[in-house]
């Protein structure tokens, strides 16, 4: 007897086909169930990720972008504008406290994985991020660096301090280039609601449940591929 792939083989019995179908259903249930498991991480680090569509603040474009989803009345904003006249003026971009809540920034731009207490800079309620004149600009620019900030959570008793970071990139140049320098792009920010002094760029670790779900999904998909490779080929005459 020939199977559909031209190889000789015995016809598959109904009981064998039923067993295969049961196995397939189990593998699909395993993979689908993994997707339905709660995907939670640490509740302490709260992340706002804008990397898919990051806003850019510049003197000639979006001139203000607020960060207002901190707990309590703490808030700050990125702003850009121009001082002086068209001949001797300066285009600028900065970050500054807004509203009535307590917010301060470390006076330094940092790479990833630097903790709050490892940044020697002093604190300020605002920080210049770039300036550009007709013939010079400062800084030249950078990509994926971090601002470190602290704020008081007025939604909690005693207004406890919280610590966070903002990931930014700055593109800068002289004003005559016609690109409204400087330009500050905001990718994401995070804070730790437990009071821990998290490192710049630090995000929640995946929970054990999320890892279990990923493992189940991987095993389910792998088992399905194995089942497809090794299943007997049905005899079309049966």
159 and 168 in contact (C-beta within 8 Å)?
Answer: no
Is pLDDT above 50 for 60?
yes
Reported as a single tens digit per residue, the pLDDT across 193-211 is 999 999 999 998 765 444 4
pLDDT classification of 9: cutoffs 50, 70, 90? very low
DSSP 102-124: -EEEESS-B-SS-BGGG----EE
Is pLDDT above 90 for 62?
yes
Is pLDDT above 80 for 231?
no
Beta bridge partners of 56: 185
Does residue 94 or residue 179 have the better pLDDT? Answer: 94
Is pLDDT above 50 for 175?
yes
Does residue 35 or residue 18 have the better pLDDT? Answer: 18
The fraction of the chain above a pLDDT of 90, given in percent, is: 61
- Dist CA 91 CA 94 (whole Å): 11
The fraction of the chain above a pLDDT of 70, given in percent, is: 67
pLDDT classification of 38: cutoffs 50, 70, 90? very low
**179-190: average pLDDT:** 95
Reported as a single tens digit per residue, the pLDDT across 84-119 is 876 678 999 999 999 899 999 999 999 999 999 999
List the alpha helices (DSSP H) in the chain: 14-36, 208-230
Does residue 31 or residue 82 have the better pLDDT? Answer: 82
pLDDT classification of 179: cutoffs 50, 70, 90? confident
pLDDT classification of 164: cutoffs 50, 70, 90? very high
The crossing angle, in degrees rounded to 10, of helices 14-36 and 208-230 is: 160
Does residue 112 or residue 27 have the better pLDDT? Answer: 112
The DSSP call for residue 176 is: G
**110-129: average pLDDT:** 96
Q: Is the peptide bond before 23 cis (omega within 30 degrees of 0)?
A: no
Q: What is the mean pLDDT of the chain?
A: 81
Residue 22: what pLDDT? 62
């Amino acid at each position: 007897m020939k199977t559909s792939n031209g190889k000789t083989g015995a016809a598959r019995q109904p009981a064998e086909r039923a067993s295969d179908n049961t196995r397939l259903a189990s593998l699909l249930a395993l993979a689908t169930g993994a997707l339905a498991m709660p995907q939670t991480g640490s509740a302490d680090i709260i992340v706002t990720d804008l990397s898919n569509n990051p806003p850019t603040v510049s003197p000639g474009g979006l001139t203000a972008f607020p960060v207002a989803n901190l707990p309590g009345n703490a808030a700050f904003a990125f702003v850009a504008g121009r001082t002086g006249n068209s001949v001797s003026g300066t285009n600028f971009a900065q970050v500054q406290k807004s509203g009535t809540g307590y917010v301060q920034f470390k006076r330094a731009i940092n790479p990833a994985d630097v903790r709050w207490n490892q940044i020697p800079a002093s604190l300020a309620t605002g920080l210049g991020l770039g300036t550009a004149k007709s013939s010079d600009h400062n800084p030249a620019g950078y990509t994926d660096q971090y601002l470190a900030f602290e704020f008081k959570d007025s939604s909690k008793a005693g207004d406890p301090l919280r610590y966070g970071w903002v990931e930014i990139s700055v593109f800068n140049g002289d004003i005559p280039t016609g690109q409204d320098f400087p330009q500050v792009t905001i990718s994401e920010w995070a804070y730790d609601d437990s009071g821990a002094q998290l490192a710049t760029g630090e995000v929640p670790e995946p929970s054990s449940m999320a890892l279990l779900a990923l493992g189940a999904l991987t095993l389910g998909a792998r088992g399905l591929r194995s089942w497809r490779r090794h299943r007997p080929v049905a005899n079309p005459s049966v």
